[in-house]
A and B are shown apart, each in its own frame.
Chain A
Amino acid sequence: MTAPTQISHTQAESDLLARFDTAKGDLSGSTAVSDLRVAAAEQIKTKGLPHRRVEEYKYTDLRAYMKSAAPLAPKASAAEAKALADAENAYGELERFRIVVANGTYLAEVSDLEALAAEGVTVTDFAAALDQDTAADLLATPPSAGTDGVLALNTAFVQGGVVITVKEGADVSRPVELVHVSTAEGAIVTRNRINVAKGAKLKMLESFAGTTGTGETNVVFDYKIADNAEFATTRLVVGATEGARLLTTLATIGADAIFKILGFMAGPAFARNQQFVAFEGENSEAKLYGVSMARDRCLADQTLIIDHAVPHCNSREYFKTVLDDEARGVYQGRINVAQHAQKSDGEMMTQALLLSEGPEMANKPELEIFADDVLCAHGATSGQIDEDLLFYLRARGIPEAEARTLLVLAFLSEAIEEFEEEYVTDFLEQRVRDWLAGK
């Protein structure tokens, strides 16, 4: 049996192929990188956008969602980008260092480079790095991601991004915000490499500001966490954007290291947060948390694969979804335990709270275990607000809307509070309140 070499393209696919023809001369990269881009574009040409017949996209049909593909966003002015990042100010008064990527391009002039350098953090342009001879390594994808369509789109079109490197033993004193700003309509496609060297400690805050119109946002965060390093990041994806938000985590974790991430999504019409995390050293810990909130006809997808490729590692995956109206939530999570990865400890839980009769939740937790001495568990629940709890709160004088908010926050607390990064707890709870209030 042979697969058809040519499919009938949707409008969006035709747009993407035309976009590639137009943009390829301007997109940076060594010869090896250009070859990877061409191969990725060829994948789009032969396989199309990922759709429901592809197992990983069964509940998240990108091909059906994207009616067209906008051109890549034009370059932004630094002043405009800074003004927008300041205005949206995703993390409020929180003291932090900031790195700005606008319309797909790193803007050094409005990033806190000197302060970061003093902390042992260097930031360079991903686009420039792509021109180096060794650049193909920057676009490498883990085996668990296979021929993922969103990653292929990223490889074909990646405009830029940043390479952040934290030097050995550095303990960065404030969180580092990486904000992606869109000052004009159009797709933004970036890739960011975050190298946390041995024994270093870094906390990140990821945010998105401005609108891409119908253009997609395709951002890859590629974390390399070395031995004994500690890393935590908060990914805030909020706002009612029309263009698909396609976010990918790639992470490799060395020995005796800690990797934590909370992906918080509330608002976008179509959002997928997909994560491919692999342990490469023993005695490490990965904690992945997720909060998804969606209403109207929006879709929020949290997908992950965690590879226990070596023994003696712990992973925790706690995901919470709140849905209303006709919204759809997706959770697909898989813990892989390799044959020799004895004493692996994995625990995965996905829970959905449906605020009305209309929404749909697809929960798909999976374990794939080849070792025989492991501790792995998974669970999934879907339910509604408990009327008895609601009555108890109201009987104490708390009005219904506030009582519901308290119960939703209580439901989400397992993800938000157990993430144990207290500097973001209040911001995230306020985001939950804002979303519930329809803001």
Chain B
Amino acid sequence: MLEIKNLHARIAEDGTEILRGVDLKVNAGEVHAIMGPNGSGKSTLSYILAGKSDYEVTEGEIIFHGENLLELEPDERAAAGVFLAFQYPIEIPGVATMEFLKTAMNAQRKAKGQAQLSIPDFMKLVKEKSKDLNVSMDMLKRPLNVGFSGGEKKRAEILQMSLLEPSLCVLDETDSGLDIDALRIVSEGVNKLRSPERAMVVITHYQRLLDHIIPDVVHVLSKGRIVKTGGKELALELEKNGYADYIEAA
């Protein structure tokens, strides 16, 4: 489904090189965890997948469902099935959450040539998915992410993900800022979305999240390269020994 080949990227503004030859292949149905120390390029990789213009790809390619992902605009990528759950979901005062959800869902449906959702169908869907994620109607009445706690923001991200039903879910440190209960709710929400047609890339510092979302493959990203790939036991090893070995290896 997703194939990243020799990806090099830098910060557009100052030219700082962040990714230095990332190779990654993710098949449908798989969950890949990407772990690594601060500054290794994990978030950059997620932003590049989603199409943030702050980064410039200097070499390499990203093939998604057989298409060159780098040629697509961020909204086209979303319609093609890419979803990034932000590490820091952004507050947008003045944009009502429900209005936003409806606009996003209908924009994606339009891009796929599907009919627009009727208001009752939309409401029904939102209510159903919100319940699972413990997202209250009160939250949905507020402007997007405004005044949400850290946990509420992350739950709202997963709500968006479950409504938009992407084929590739990129979770950027979704565990950061979550207490144990919130972590469980969010993880359950994510696990519910696991399917043979869907792939997930889970970016995290800590093993903790991977106790809940069990990965098929674990990668270690260090200094802009994937330096080690293994099974879920690799995460446990990292938890015990830290990243020091891999920083040196890179």
Contacts and interface: CB of A to CB of B under 8 A. Distances in A.
Interface of A: 387-389, 391-400, 402-403, 406-407, 409-414
B122 to A, nearest CB: 15
Q: For the complex, would chain A's binding face be called helix, strand, loop or mixed by DSSP majority? A: helix
- A-B pairs with lowest CB-CB distance, top 4: A410-B94, A397-B78, A394-B74, A397-B108
Given A399-B107, A402-B107, A406-B103, A394 B94 contact: no
Nearest to A392: B90
Contacts of B95: 393, 406-407, 409-410
Nearest to B108: A397
Contact of A398 (B52, B104, B143): B104
Nearest to A396: B104
A397 B94 contact: no
Contacts of A411: 94
B52 A397 contact: no
A407 B51 CA distance: 19
B84 interface: yes
A400 B94 contact: no
A386 B92 CA distance: 10
A98 B49 CA distance: 56
Task: Determine which residue in B51, B83, B92, B93 has the highest number of CB atoms from chain A within 10 A of its CB, and name it.
Answer: B92
Given A392-B92, A400-B73, A414-B94, 18 more contacts: A387-B53, A389-B92, A391-B50, A391-B51, A392-B90, A394-B78, A395-B50, A395-B77, A396-B78, A396-B160, A397-B78, A397-B108, A399-B73, A400-B75, A402-B103, A406-B99, A406-B103, A412-B94
B100 A406 contact: yes
B94 A413 contact: yes
Given A397-B79, A400-B73, A391 B52 contact: yes
25 contacts: A389-B90, A392-B90, A393-B104, A394-B74, A394-B75, A394-B78, A395-B50, A395-B74, A395-B78, A395-B84, A397-B75, A397-B78, A397-B79, A397-B108, A397-B111, A397-B164, A399-B107, A400-B75, A402-B103, A403-B75, A406-B95, A409-B94, A410-B95, A412-B94, A413-B94
A391 B104 contact: no
B86 interface: yes
Most chain B beta-carbon contacts within 10 A, residue among A389, A396, A398: A396
B5 to A, nearest CB: 23
Output the residue of A387, A392, A397, A409 with the most chain B CB within 10 A.
A397
A410 B94 CA distance: 4
B107 A397 contact: yes
A403 B74 CA distance: 12
A392 B86 contact: yes
B96 to A, nearest CB: 9
A356 B234 CA distance: 50
A398 B103 contact: yes
Interface in B96-130: 99-100, 103-104, 107-108, 111
A406 B93 CA distance: 11
Contacts of A399: 73, 75, 107
Given A391-B53, A406-B100, A398 B107 contact: yes
Interface string B69-93: 0000111011100011010011011
Nearest to A398: B107
A388 B79 CA distance: 19
A402 B99 CA distance: 12
A190 B29 CA distance: 72
